[in-house]
Amino acid sequence: MAIKGAVQIDIETCKGCELCIEACPQDTLALSNEINKIGYHYAVQIEDNCTGCINCALVCPDAVITVYRQPKKKKNGREEVARISNVRSDVTISINDK
Ligand code: SF4
Ligand code: SF4
């Protein structure tokens, strides 16, 4: 059975570059018709088929995507597995893939 994932996107910081949309093998993401407060169409999750592969988070130049993956032993809740942060200087990548 496929692993269940989900993404959280900081829509007010997204610049609508579409890199995450291109990188997603599941076609889970798309640009919203709405515009955020800095004037860009922002990325949103449009399908419930995310596998938590983290491709989108890795390519996002603004580091606004957090990926969650459902824990294998828990049926409820979600677990953060990848967060890209601090892109203005050194890049920190932390992956919890247990
Ligand atoms: S984690 Fe993978 S499957 Fe999920 S939205 Fe991002 S690229 Fe697509
Ligand atoms: S890669 Fe990042 S900045 Fe570009 S559209 Fe996706 S979430 Fe927005």
6 forms beta bridges with 68
Helices marked H in 33-85: 55-59
Instruction: Pick the closest to residue 51 from 14, 76, 24 (CA basis).
Output: 24
Residue whose CA lies nearest to ligand 1 atom number 6:
56
Measured in angstroms, how far is the CA atom of residue 79 from the centroid of ligand 1? Answer: 15
Q: Is the CB of 16 under 6 A from ligand 1?
A: no
| Residue with token string 């580091």 | 63
- Domains of the chain by residue range: 5-95
**CATH node for 5-95:** 3.30.70.20
Give the position, in ligand 2's atom list, of the atom nearest the Cα of 56.
Answer: 1
What are the tens digits of pLDDT across the range 11-40? 999 999 999 999 999 999 999 999 999 999
> pTM to 2 decimals?
0.76
Provide the pLDDT for residue 16: 97
**Which residue type occupies 69?**
R
Residue count (the chain):
98
Ligand in closest contact with the CA of 14: 2
